[in-house]
Chains A and B, each alone.
Chain A
């Protein structure tokens, strides 16, 4: 089976940097995803890691350590529109995808 843990809620200040952690235990590993989901909307893709290291995409970066079963999503220069839930997901064996429950980020002025 697969188990994914991430904090339920976080609060950060506009303009700051926030790191959202995700730990996982899986049978098979074929990549880790981060998605953003605004309330009432569909998730949208942010990043994908399959090898160890940091992937940077504009204000968003994602890190993976496969040996530690650990990933984080780093959001820089926070904006109010970044208030959303951030979902960590792992693709395991046979291409099954398991999502964490999501981290609800509130950005305050």
Chain B
């Protein structure tokens, strides 16, 4: 089944304790992206990646890191989480620029993170 998976789905942690949220897709997509969703603010793009070893900042990159060492995985790293990073996080992927289907982003199920 074609899908985007995220782990963990739920996480409660404490300020300053490094964490990684994994994202994996099995559709051979080149474009991958991380978003956070907060009430009243909608979905905001954190980082995105056009291809392996190519990453760019979205609108709210502060406090986050990403890496794209292989096409299928795009982990989101919080080196020192703070309470203002409490949010619902979504990973998404879409095909390459050359594909007619490039335009559809497939979203993972979401990760609900609470930082105390």
Contact = CB atoms under 8 A, between A and B. Distances in A.
A43 B90 CA distance: 9
Contacts of A50: 103
Interface string B23-59: 0000000010101000011111100101000001011
Q: In the complex, which range does the number of interface residues on chain B fall in?
A: 20 to 34
Contact of B42 (A41, A96, A102): A102
B58 A96 contact: yes
Interface in B78-101: 90
B105 A99 contact: no
A72 interface: no
Interface string B5-33: 00000000000000000000000000101
A95 B103 contact: no
A19 interface: no
Interface in A28-61: 31, 33, 41-45, 48, 50
Interface of A: 31, 33, 41-45, 48, 50, 87, 89, 94-102
